[in-house]
A and B are shown apart, each in its own frame.
Chain A
Amino acid sequence: MSIAVDREQELLAGVRAIARDVAAVHADDVDRAARFPAETIDALRAVGALSAPVPETLGGGGVSVGVIAECCHELGRSCAATAMVFAMHHIQLLTIVRHLEPGGWFEAYLHRQVTEGRLIASVTSEVGTGGDMARSIAAVTPAEGGLMSFEKQAPTVSYGAYADDLLTTLRRAPQSEPGDQVAALTHADQHSLEPTGTWDVLGMRGTCSPGAVVRARFGAEQVLGTPFAKVAAESMVPLSHILWSHLWLGIAEDAFERARAFVKAAAKRTPGVMPPAAQRLARLSGEVALLRGLVGSGLRDFEAYAEGPAREELSTMSMALRFNNLKIAASEQTRDVCFGALDVCGIMGFKNDTPFSVGRHLRDALSAPLMIANERIQQTNAALLLIAKEV
C-alpha cells in the first residue's frame, strides 16, 4: 500500500471512530438543543480531518474527494447535522484546492489550514436573488487603506458564528453585472455577522444556520482568481451534490438499520412467525440499494472528469444535468426511505426515545429537497434539456 492510501485508510478509521464514539453519543442533544456539534468538530480537527484534502506539496494529506465523501457517509449515519457541517466545510476547502493559483495568497492559507484546521462556512445565498446562486447583489468594494469590503444580506449562514473563515460569493466590482461573480475568503477577525433571525427548525438543527448581515474588510488577494461561474461548474456544484448525497445515504442507512433491528426483535419474540413488517422491510432494502447505487455513480462520474484537461467537461450541460439529477433523486429517495423506516417501526419509530426512533432521521432528511430547492433545480434542468443532447 502506498503512503497516500495508508493515510486515507487511517483518516477513515479515525472518522469512523469519532462518528461512533462522539457524534452518535451527542446527536440527540445536538438535535434537541439546536446546538452546534462542537465536541465532534473539535475531535475531527484533532485527527486532521478538517485539513485532509490540502495537497501534499503544501504539507497536507492530499486526501481524495472519494475519501471525504466516505467520511460524510459515515458521519451521516451518526449525526446528520455534524455530517452536514463537515460536508459544507469540505465543499469550500476542496473548491479552494481545485482552483489554486501557484504562489498566491491561497497557498499560504492552505499551509495555515494544515496546522490550524480552520472551519470554513459559506455565504452563497442572498436576499433578493430568488435563491439563484449564480447571481449576486453584494459586491467587492474598494475601501480605505487599499482594502476591499462588502456587506451581504444572507438568508441563511450555516454555522457562521462557529466558523474560522467565510467563503462569500460577490459581484466582482460595484459596476459588475449580477452574474459576474467571484468568491472571497475572509477570517473571523475580518468579518462580522449580525444575526437577522433565529434557527428553530424542523431538522438539521445542529447546523445553526440563521440569517445574517455579513460585513467584511479584507485584502484584494483574498479573492479567488477564477471566475465563480467556472468554480461553481467545475467544483462547488458537483462537490455539493456528491458530499450531500453521501451524508443523506448515511441518514437513510441508519434509519433502515433501526427498522431492521425492529423487525429482528419482533421475530425473536415470536419464533417461526414472520413479523408483519418484515415484507415492508424487504421492499425498503431495495430502495436503500437504489439510493446507494445512485450516490456511488455520482461520485464515479465526478472522479472520471475531476482532474486534467477532462475537467472542463464538468461545465458541459450534460454534466450539469447529471449532478442536478443526482441531487434531486438522492434527496427525495432519502426522505422516502426514512418514511419507509417509520412505516416499518410504527409507534416504536414514532416515539423519540426508543432504539427504533427515526424521527430525527426523518426531520433531517426533510431538509434535503430544500437545500437549493429541487423545484428550482428542475426549472434549470427544463431549460438545459431544450438544448442538451445526451443526458
Chain B
Amino acid sequence: MNETIRKAVEDHARLPVPVASLADGDDLYQAGMTSHASVNVMLALEDAFDTEFPDRMLKRSVFESIASIEAALSELQAEAVS
C-alpha cells in the first residue's frame, strides 16, 4: 500500500522534490503540494485502490502525509471487509 501511495504522490502531487526523499510522516503541503494537486492525488488513489473517500475524509489533515493517507485507506479497507 505504501508504495502505491508513494507512486500516486510522485505522479500527481507535483512536488519540487522526489517522493523518495520524504519520510512517511513528512507534511506534503509543506513539501509543496497545492490543494489543486491534492485533488489529483485523491483521484489517483481512488482509482488505484478501487475505493471512494467519504466526505468526512476529504480534508487537509487526511492527505497531509503518506502516513495519514495510509491510515485512511486502511480504515476504508477494514470497513469494506467487515
The chain A residues found within 8 Å of chain B, CB to CB, are 134-135, 172, 176-180, 227, 229-230, 233, 312-313, 315-318, 380, 383-384, 386-390
Q: How far is the CA of A225 from the CA of B56 in the complex (A)?
A: 25
A57 nearest CB across to chain B (Å): 28
B75 nearest CB across to chain A (Å): 16
Q: How far is the CA of A227 from the CA of B54 in the complex (A)?
A: 25
Max chain B C-beta neighbours (<10 A), residue from A318, A380, A387, A390: A387
Contacts known (A384-B39, A386-B43); A318 close to B55, Cβ less than 8 A: yes
B11 within 8 A of A: no
Give the interface size bracket for B toward A: 20 to 34
**Residues of chain A within 8 A of B33, CB atoms compared:** 179
Q: Which of B30, B32, B43, B60 contacts A387 (CB 8 A)?
A: B43
B59 and A387 contacting across the interface, CB-CB below 8 Å: no
Q: How far is the CA of A312 from the CA of B61 in the complex (A)?
A: 9
Q: Which of B32, B53, B54, B60 contacts A229 (CB 8 A)?
A: B60
Contacts known (A233-B60, A389-B54); A180 close to B29, Cβ less than 8 A: yes
Contacts known (A230-B60, A315-B59, A389-B55); A179 close to B43, Cβ less than 8 A: no
Q: Enumerate B3-56 residues with CB–CB distance to A below 8 Å.
A: 16, 29-36, 39, 42-43, 46, 52-56
Q: How far is the CA of A267 from the CA of B15 in the complex (A)?
A: 67
B35 and A134 contacting across the interface, CB-CB below 8 Å: yes
**Residues of chain A within 8 A of B36, CB atoms compared:** 380, 383
B58 within 8 A of A: yes
B55 and A180 contacting across the interface, CB-CB below 8 Å: no
Q: Which of B16, B30, B42, B61 contacts A315 (CB 8 A)?
A: B61
Q: How far is the CA of A126 from the CA of B27 in the complex (A)?
A: 24
A167 nearest CB across to chain B (Å): 21
A209 nearest CB across to chain B (Å): 26
Contacts known (A229-B29, A387-B42, A387-B43); A316 close to B56, Cβ less than 8 A: yes
**Residues of chain B within 8 A of A312, CB atoms compared:** 59, 61
